[in-house]
Amino acid sequence: MKNDRLMRDMKREALTRMEEAARTEDDFNAVVVQWDKRDANRERKERYHEISREEKTLHKDYHGGALIPPPFQHPYWRELLKGEFINYIYDNASEIWQVIEDQEIAVLVKSLTNKQKEVLFLSAVRLCTTAQIACYKEQTNRAVRKLLAAALASVRDKLAPLIREQGTQTTLAKREFLAWYDKEKVVVDSGDNG
């Protein structure tokens, strides 16, 4: 403990001497680099104490769509105690459609099967790999990839005609989706015929 304090004091004193001795532009740039390192370290320590969701983690207690509550030190509990309920309410595979902003896409996702919703939730919201999902659902990686691809294809195939009906009233993102979708269909169709 005393050694840590001594090291901090020595570094602080060294930085002060460096600042006072700086005369050229290179000397000042070296001082700025040192201050940037200190700021980065301070920000890292602050981030450690901020409330944030770990997007790439999945509770080990996930089985068949049921989640065992996370430990009390988890950010979910801190959010709940502060009165921030949104993340906790919609942390559910069967309710994934409620967090989708676009009404048309939400309706299409709502029409998916429960298995497809669960895989889509774990992939899109929890950012799990197909291998992780396969482990939790006790399936093969191939089966999970096939289920996820079927869910996405179902949504895309139903969404493309809906966007085309809107004509010029679509957003840029929807027009880009249509361009991508048409290109993918051409590639898939030419692959099937060749």
The CATH number linked to 151 is 1.10.10.10
Tell me the C-alpha distance between 125 and 62, whole Å.
15
15 and 98 inside one domain: no
Q: How many separate domains does the chain show?
A: 2
Tell me the C-alpha distance between 41 and 77, whole Å.
27
Q: What is the pLDDT of residue 194?
A: 47
Model confidence pLDDT, tens digit, residues 3-34: 888 888 888 898 889 888 889 999 889 988 98
- Give the pTM: 0.52
Q: What is the pLDDT of residue 59?
A: 47
Q: Calculate the average pLDDT of the chain.
A: 78
Tell me the C-alpha distance between 173 and 152, whole Å.
17
174 part of a folded domain: yes
Give residues with Cβ within 8 angstroms of 124, minimum separation 6.
Answer: 96
Give the gyration radius of the chain's Cα atoms: 26
165 part of a folded domain: yes
26 and 94 inside one domain: no
Domain hosting residue 9, numbered range: 1-31
Confidence of residue 191 (pLDDT cuts 50, 70, 90): low
21 part of a folded domain: yes
If we measure between CA atoms, which residue out of 112, 194, 95 comes closest to residue 155?
A: 112
Mean pLDDT over residues 51-75, rounded? Answer: 53
116 and 185 inside one domain: yes
4 part of a folded domain: yes
27 and 102 inside one domain: no
Query: What is the three-class DSSP state of 41?
Result: helix
Mean pLDDT over residues 106-123, rounded? Answer: 87
96 and 22 inside one domain: no
